[in-house]
């Protein structure tokens, strides 16, 4: 029986061996698809948890999450006969049942306009979905499927055709908002995204602020995303809305000095970014999909 082939990229820094083993065990248990796996190490060490037959890419230094994912996708493309589908898996995310990947591919095949398909990400309880994990507005209803204009990067199925056409993940982001950048690249190229809310995956209920770099890089990269993608009249509008919200959060929850540092870094380095503003038609498509690119 023919099964669709899926190439899977898993990043590792040998920092959570138990979680990695669980993630890989549930990955290898997937049925109805042919899976090929690559493990990418970002800190110069050889991975210690590697599934049988996996390709291994050992990077000489930590080049960040999007750069590591690109290295994995490149290795799979260059190895032999790349699959039509790429799945990017956080090394502490797990599949709750054996049919998840096959269901995601079926959803993608049912939505040929979608460059990427996002499952619903929940905690290990299979119920709790933090608002930041819902890739659309109206996040209070994480069970509602539909077209989306961003993504939750750590568990997402992407068409290889679209991924290669837009140049993959933005490696220079290092961490944070690379999913928004990739999503907007796909939309600018004429694709869309789909949220398959009925398909679940599990992830520990962690906070992004646990990373020391969060406030600075999140602020810097948000400015880069706006400068890279938006028509000139929308850049100040988008940044004004985002800045007001971000500063209010920083004052309330902490990280204000690092947020301001990231804003300054993003603004002063914006001209080093490649600017490819989307057309006004794409702006309208994003707006019609429920996410005008000023929010």
The reported pLDDT for the residue numbered 39 is 86
The string over 85-116, giving b where at least 16 C-beta atoms fall within 10 Å of a residue's C-beta and e elsewhere, is bbbbbbbbbbbeeebbbbbbbbbbeebeebbb
The reported pLDDT for the residue numbered 113 is 96
The reported pLDDT for the residue numbered 295 is 74
- The bridge status of strand 146-148 relative to strand 192-202 is antiparallel
Edge-first strand listing for the sheet containing 192-202 = 55-58, 34-41, 5-12, 85-89, 155-159, 114-122, 192-202, 146-148
The reported pLDDT for the residue numbered 292 is 87
The reported pLDDT for the residue numbered 45 is 80
The reported pLDDT for the residue numbered 44 is 77
pLDDT tens by residue, 221-248:
999 999 999 999 999 999 999 999 888 9
User: Low-confidence residues of the chain, pLDDT below 50?
Assistant: none
- Mind spelling out the 3-state secondary structure of 122-150? ECCCCCCCCHHHCCCCCCCCCCCCEEECC
């Amino acid at each position: 029986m023919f099964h669709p082939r899926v190439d899977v990229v898993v990043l590792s820094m040998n920092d959570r061996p138990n979680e990695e083993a669980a993630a890989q065990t549930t990955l290898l248990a997937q049925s109805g698809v042919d899976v090929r796996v690559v493990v990418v190490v970002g800190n110069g060490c050889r991975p210690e948890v590697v599934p049988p037959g996996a390709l291994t890419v050992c990077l000489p230094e930590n080049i960040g999450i999007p750069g590591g994912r690109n290295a994995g996708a490149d290795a799979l493309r260059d190895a032999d006969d790349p699959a039509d589908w790429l799945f990017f898996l956080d090394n502490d995310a797990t599949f709750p049942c054996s049919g998840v990947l096959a269901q995601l591919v079926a959803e993608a095949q049912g939505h040929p306009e979608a460059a990427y398909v996002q499952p619903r990400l929940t905690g290990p309880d299979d119920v709790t979905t933090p608002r930041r994990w819902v890739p659309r507005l109206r996040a209070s209803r994480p069970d509602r499927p539909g077209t989306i204009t961003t993504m939750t990067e750590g568990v997402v199925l992407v068409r290889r055709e679209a991924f290669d056409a837009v140049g993959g993940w933005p490696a220079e982001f290092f961490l944070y908002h690379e999913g928004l950048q990739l999503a907007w690249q796909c939309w600018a190229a004429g694709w869309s995204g789909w949220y398959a809310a009925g398909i679940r995956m599990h992830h520990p209920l962690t906070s992004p602020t646990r990373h020391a770099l969060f406030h600075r890089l999140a602020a810097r990269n948000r400015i880069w995303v706006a400068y890279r993608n938006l028509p000139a009249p929308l850049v100040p509008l988008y940044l004004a809305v985002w800045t007001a919200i971000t500063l209010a959060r920083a004052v309330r929850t902490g990280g204000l000095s690092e947020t301001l540092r990231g804003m300054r870094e993003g603004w002063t380095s914006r001209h080093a970014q490649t600017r490819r503003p989307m057309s006004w038609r794409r702006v309208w498509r994003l707006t019609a999909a429920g996410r005008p690119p000023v929010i």
